[in-house]
Chains A and B, each alone.
Chain A
Amino acid sequence: AQKVTQAQTEISVVEKEDVTLDCVYETRDTTYYLFWYKQPPSGELVFLIRRNSFDEQNEISGRYSWNFQKSTSSFNFTITASQVVDSAVYFCALSEAPLRTGTASKLTFGTGTRLQVTL
């Protein structure tokens, strides 16, 4: 069975601080995908990143960066120079690889980390 653990339930930082959101996962699959989503107060999930289990290269996108460590089954997310607009709940998620092209796999979500960025 797949499992995603986000041990940090709530984090509060002051604007411009860096913050790292932790994500640890469990799966027996050799091929899988990891995701991060942002859920602002409006409720709509915003896709941030998808990472293939074979691609351990870290990724940076603007103020966002992701550190994928297969050896520790972790996929941590860092926001640099946080802003008030970053305040939201962030979910890490895991899916197995689709059985065939064109199909989709269900996502297993972590419990989310609520990030509050204050002035």
Chain B
Amino acid sequence: GAVVSQHPSRVICKSGTSVKIECRSLDFQATTMFWYRQFPKQSLMLMATSNEGSKATYEQGVEKDKFLINHASLTLSTLTVTSAHPEDSSFYICSARDSGRGVGKQFFGPGTRLTVL
């Protein structure tokens, strides 16, 4: 079946550094991928919609200059947390859907746990 991978699965960084998280669709093409953030014991909140070949669409309240999204190919979207601070510590999850199918289910990546010291 379709699989979405994320790398790294876990990252710890110092405050002020930038962290890049990759989301890959392994056996299908995805023109659209989604980035979610989940704080401990809370729900998933959509951050942005990543569109291949064009700018990402950010949800209200999400700083686009802080969370840079690049969807350079049909199988890869990256989220860069720039100048990370402790409050950015969270579980980041991406999802993607097979563009070649009709209405199909979205597949979620395993998530990336970011800890900013």
Contact = CB atoms under 8 A, between A and B. Distances in A.
B75 interface: no
A102 B101 contact: yes
Interface residues of A, number: 24
Given A98-B103, A101-B103, A107-B34, A43 B110 contact: yes
A47 B107 contact: yes
A97 B103 CA distance: 8
* Count class of interface residues, chain B: 20 to 34
A106 interface: yes
A110 B45 CA distance: 10
Contacts of B31: 102-104
A112 B44 CA distance: 9
A47 B105 contact: yes
A111 interface: yes
Given A102-B31, A107-B34, A109-B44, A45 B103 contact: no
**Central interface residue in A50, A106, A110, A111, by most chain B CB within 10 Å:** A106
A91 B99 contact: no
B103 A107 contact: no
Nearest to B101: A102
Given A103-B32, A111-B42, A44 B103 contact: no
